[in-house]
A and B are shown apart, each in its own frame.
Chain A
Amino acid sequence: METALALLVGILTATGVYLMLARNLLRYLFGLILLSNAANLAIFTAGRLTRASPPLVPAGLEAPAVAVANPLPQALILTAIVIGFGLLAFTLALIVRAYRRLGTLDADDMRVAEPRKKPEQENRHP
């Protein structure tokens, strides 16, 4: 079943990368979502899959009595999901702002900082 999940992660990644290479910034954002989900799932899979019970310690015991799922990747993913959400929210805000300022969602048309025009050659013969 690891193989199946590894394949799924690969497909999520590939789709995410493909979307991120698009000119439309909304598609870029969707690609980013896919990529961060793929990363979470990759961590989860690498921490070994098990159908065992969640990592909880039953009342009255010092440690889980039976084998439980690996808690470490879960803690990492929890952090990653929340941080990923922050990133997505910020990116969305950036896109909204950029659209308002530039009137386009096409990344190729956003050339304020690096204009398409060739800069003048300065001080050729000082």
Chain B
Amino acid sequence: MLALIVPVVPAVIAALLLWQLPRVMAGEVLAFGWHWVPSLGISARFFLDGLNMLFALLISGVGAFVAIYAGAYLSGHPHLRRFYFYLLLFMVGMLGLVLAADLITLFVFWELTTIASYLLIGFDHSNAKARRSALQALLITAIGGLCLLAGLILLGITAGSFDLLEILELGDELRASALYLPILVLVLLGAFTKSAQLPFHFWLPNAMAAPTPVSAYLHSATMVKAGIYLLARLHPVLAYTPAWQWTLTLVGAATLVVAAVLALRQTDLKLTLAYTTLVALGTLTMFLGDDDSVPIAAAVTFILVHSFYKASLFMVVGIIDHQTGTRELGSLGGLRRAMPVTFVAAAAAALSMAGFPPFLGFIGKELKYEGALAIASEPLLVAGAAVFANALMVAVAAILVFKPFFGPRQPAGTNISEAPLALWLGPLVLAALGLVCGIATPLVAESLIQPAVTAILGRPEVVKMKLWHGLNLPLLLSVVTFTLGVVVYLLQRPIRAALQELLQWLPLSGDRLWDHFIDGIKHLAAWQTRLLQHGVMRRYLSIIFATVAAALGYVLLRNGDIAVDLEWPQLTVKEWAALALTLAGAMMAGAARAPLAAICALGALGVGLALIYLFFGAPDVAITQLLVETLFLVLIATTLHRLPVFSGVHTPRFRPLDALLAITVGAGVTLSILAVMQTPFDATTSTFFETAAVPEAYGRNIVNVILVDFRALDTFGEILVVFTAAIAAATLIGHRLQRKKH
């Protein structure tokens, strides 16, 4: 049931988009939305122009077929509902990302796709490899996402607005601003991580741990195209500079070449496709580096071509895997009679991928060559890279069709039946679209390509595309490409063996580097945890006291001078005696070696304090102090016999550093009290208690009245605290005594 409903959602979205297509073709920009954070100038606005129309159509259109396919592929899976939820969540993220008309809104949806892709790649959560791949994709794209956020905020600040439509008009101002380069670097980091450009490419092949419908969706029309969309979207603002041109051209070309080489090495059908996706992404990046209309038209066309054939081929590989249980090239063969429909879909998609006429792929390839030759900066580099990539595409397409479907039947290929309709419908329709669009090239060019190119370049462009261009240089390059492709196909075994040999010599792959990076972070975390959480109480306390000293010192320094009354204190003899007793108690407690001596000293100190309270008008405090002192003595006396008071305690040594810290804290406290003394005394509260005690509380001992009447709730809390402490202490000490009795 669900398998019928879910595909309807993207299908309806696609239909709605198609309904608006004529208006977009006419050059209209449709915008809608509402305020989100008006105080920051952020709004949840969306718009529709030629560029994001193309992307939105691909996301919803391919999404509908992937949803149908997933229903059959994962049929009976216990978490199918969860899968649909993730898939739709991802789709919403992608649609929001391409339609957003506000930088912050764009970023929020960008991160939504990151999170949804994490859930999708790690869908098989009981598989450690899937979990690792999902986390790797999440971390890499999220690191890029943070860079992107910084870049977008800088962009918004420089432009004075987060509204994308306004920013797109400000290209010249932004390129002239001092922040252009930081913005460019940060935005490119975001785009390159998302679209798996070198050196962040390794997460994409690893993400093949996902169920095949996910790969078919994420790696054809959506996730990895998000970075490409961003590059295209910000093209009017950030392009037209050597920095943009060179970075995109070189990174794209490098990605393309490395990925093409790595693709040939693979024997797993799905991994081979993953690497060809990298080739496609490198190609797109390379072409987006330019600002001529032909390379841009080539890029846009290739986005369309690639989405169709790649989604189709991924689903075909999924069908083969689903029906035979393997994706290894060596164990597959002769499936063409057993699975005729799948074979037709695979063949059509592969022909488009290889760029045979009259498929759309052919036009895409011709445009690429025309565009490469039109690129002003490095036509030979770009053209050479494009020929190299396409030749490998031809070879890979041939491998994908000939190996599994032709030749002798392999053991894994016996008793195989054709897949159900829901499985082959998507790949067949998408592959057929590659053919239909190829035949109806002028219509496609006018309705989809031209508006997108216009949006990317920020100026009206007319794109004319024909199937037959006549005999020219691009056609010659096509012939070269096919010849090269066939040669590579025929020599695939030796090439693969040679590559395996060669790659063994490479010291580190990106994947391994990533492991080292993650390990390094873990070690750093462990190291700093052991540094801060060392488990030594004295050091924790030292840090706390040092912080107290620093805070006191800071406040004292900020408040300025303290006038110290240097006169000899006017104290009476008995007051001197009380002070001396306290001081002596403190000193002796600090210096005492035996605990018993320290306890005696503390007793003396308590009495001294009680006397001070008594002499300075606080008899209540004095009484309490004496009572508590007595009580504590009783407590200590009853527990001392449980502790090694008389033996077993090592003799304390003098610790100069601790002493220094202690004196610093003590000096800070003394100076603070002196500073407090300098401030004028505010007696408002005290006067209130003095005058209100009798009339309002009918008590003559003002201190008692405060405690039991004005601040009765505080006193109640205090009682609770003491009560709790008593229960806790009794539990701690008494526990074993009770057990002994039993």
Which segment, of B70-78, B96-104, B321-329, B669-677, faces chain A? B669-677
With a cutoff of 8 Å between Cβ atoms, the chain B residues found around residue A9 in the complex are: 669-670, 673
B652 CB contact (under 8 Å) in A22, A77, A84, A116: A22
Q: Is A78 a contact partner of B620 (Cβ separation < 8 A)?
A: yes
In Å, the complex CA distance between A8 and B628 comes to: 21
Q: Which of B132, B683, B686 has the most CB of A within 10 A?
A: B686
In Å, the complex CA distance between A100 and B734 comes to: 12
Top 6 A-B pairs, shortest CB-CB distance: A69-B617, A114-B535, A14-B666, A10-B670, A93-B729, A86-B725
B598 CB contact (under 8 Å) in A21, A27, A45, A70: A27
In Å, the complex CA distance between A56 and B700 comes to: 6
- Report A97 CB to chain B, min CB distance, Å: 4
Q: Is B649 a contact partner of A105 (Cβ separation < 8 A)?
A: yes
| 6 further A-B pairs in the complex, CB-CB below 8 A; given A9-B669, A15-B587, A71-B690 | A18-B590, A21-B545, A33-B632, A55-B617, A82-B628, A83-B718
Q: Is B618 a contact partner of A54 (Cβ separation < 8 A)?
A: yes
Q: Is A56 a contact partner of B702 (Cβ separation < 8 A)?
A: yes
Within 8 A of B (CB), among A1-38: 1-24, 26-27, 30, 33-34, 37-38
Name which residue of chain A comes closest to B691, CB basis: A63
Tell me how many residue pairs across A and B have CB atoms closer than 8 Å. 293
With a cutoff of 8 Å between Cβ atoms, the chain A residues found around residue B669 in the complex are: 9-10, 13, 38, 42
B677 CB contact (under 8 Å) in A2, A61, A124: A2
Instruction: Tell me if B741 is interfacial: C-beta within 8 Å of chain A.
Output: no
> Known: A17-B665, A57-B702, A79-B714. Is A96-B642 also a contact (CB below 8 A)?
yes
Within 8 A of B (CB), among A30-83: 30, 33-34, 37-38, 40-42, 44-59, 61-64, 68-72, 74-75, 77-79, 81-83
> Known: A30-B602, A83-B721, A86-B725. Is A121-B522 also a contact (CB below 8 A)?
yes
With a cutoff of 8 Å between Cβ atoms, the chain A residues found around residue B132 in the complex are: 126
Name which residue of chain B comes closest to A40, CB basis: B609
Within 8 A of A (CB), among B112-131: 128, 131
In Å, the complex CA distance between A22 and B537 comes to: 9
In Å, the complex CA distance between A22 and B132 comes to: 47
In Å, the complex CA distance between A48 and B683 comes to: 10
Q: Is B617 a contact partner of A51 (Cβ separation < 8 A)?
A: yes
> Known: A6-B670, A124-B519. Is A72-B706 also a contact (CB below 8 A)?
yes
A71 CB contact (under 8 Å) in B541, B635, B650, B706: B706
Main secondary structure of the interface of B (DSSP, over half): helix
Within 8 A of B (CB), among A80-122: 81-90, 92-97, 99-100, 105-108, 110-111, 113-116, 118-119, 121
- Report B699 CB to chain A, min CB distance, Å: 8
With a cutoff of 8 Å between Cβ atoms, the chain B residues found around residue A124 in the complex are: 519, 522
Instruction: Tell me if B569 is interfacial: C-beta within 8 Å of chain A.
Output: yes
In Å, the complex CA distance between A10 and B582 comes to: 12
In Å, the complex CA distance between A71 and B702 comes to: 6
In Å, the complex CA distance between A101 and B731 comes to: 14
Name which residue of chain A comes closest to B567, CB basis: A3
With a cutoff of 8 Å between Cβ atoms, the chain B residues found around residue A4 in the complex are: 569, 571, 579
Q: Is A62 a contact partner of B519 (Cβ separation < 8 A)?
A: no
Within 8 A of A (CB), among B604-654: 605-606, 609, 612-613, 615-621, 624-625, 628, 631-632, 635-636, 639, 642-645, 648-650, 652
Provide the B684-700 mask, 1 if CB < 8 A to any CB of A, else 0.
Answer: 01100111011100001
With a cutoff of 8 Å between Cβ atoms, the chain B residues found around residue A125 in the complex are: 515
Q: List 27 A-B contacts (CB under 8 A).
A: A2-B673, A3-B569, A6-B670, A9-B673, A10-B666, A11-B587, A14-B665, A30-B595, A40-B609, A50-B617, A51-B615, A57-B693, A62-B694, A63-B691, A70-B686, A71-B689, A72-B706, A74-B618, A78-B620, A88-B632, A92-B639, A93-B730, A93-B732, A96-B639, A106-B650, A111-B535, A119-B526
Q: Is A1 a contact partner of B662 (Cβ separation < 8 A)?
A: no
Q: Is B665 a contact partner of A86 (Cβ separation < 8 A)?
A: no
Q: Is A77 a contact partner of B534 (Cβ separation < 8 A)?
A: no
- Report B695 CB to chain A, min CB distance, Å: 6
Q: Is A26 a contact partner of B564 (Cβ separation < 8 A)?
A: no
Q: Is B619 a contact partner of A54 (Cβ separation < 8 A)?
A: yes
Q: Is B722 a contact partner of A86 (Cβ separation < 8 A)?
A: yes
Q: Is A81 a contact partner of B621 (Cβ separation < 8 A)?
A: yes
- Report B378 CB to chain A, min CB distance, Å: 41
In Å, the complex CA distance between A114 and B531 comes to: 12
Name which residue of chain A comes closest to B714, CB basis: A79
In Å, the complex CA distance between A68 and B132 comes to: 74
Q: Which of B645, B702, B724 has the most CB of A within 10 A?
A: B702
Q: Is B642 a contact partner of A100 (Cβ separation < 8 A)?
A: yes
In Å, the complex CA distance between A73 and B207 comes to: 68
Q: Is A15 a contact partner of B589 (Cβ separation < 8 A)?
A: yes
- Report A13 CB to chain B, min CB distance, Å: 4
> Known: A11-B666, A61-B694, A72-B685. Is A107-B616 also a contact (CB below 8 A)?
no
With a cutoff of 8 Å between Cβ atoms, the chain A residues found around residue B616 in the complex are: 44, 49-51, 69
A68 CB contact (under 8 Å) in B533, B617, B655, B728: B617
B586 CB contact (under 8 Å) in A11, A53, A78, A84: A11
Provide the B524-553 mask, 1 if CB < 8 A to any CB of A, else 0.
Answer: 001000100111111001100100000000
B565 CB contact (under 8 Å) in A3, A23, A70, A121: A3
Instruction: Tell me if B711 is interfacial: C-beta within 8 Å of chain A.
Output: yes
In Å, the complex CA distance between A8 and B733 comes to: 35
- Report B465 CB to chain A, min CB distance, Å: 49
> Known: A3-B564, A49-B616, A71-B689. Is A97-B643 also a contact (CB below 8 A)?
no
- Report B688 CB to chain A, min CB distance, Å: 9
Q: Which of B132, B643, B666 has the most CB of A within 10 A?
A: B666
With a cutoff of 8 Å between Cβ atoms, the chain B residues found around residue A24 in the complex are: 649-650, 652
Q: Is B666 a contact partner of A13 (Cβ separation < 8 A)?
A: yes
> Known: A6-B677, A78-B620, A82-B624. Is A15-B729 also a contact (CB below 8 A)?
no
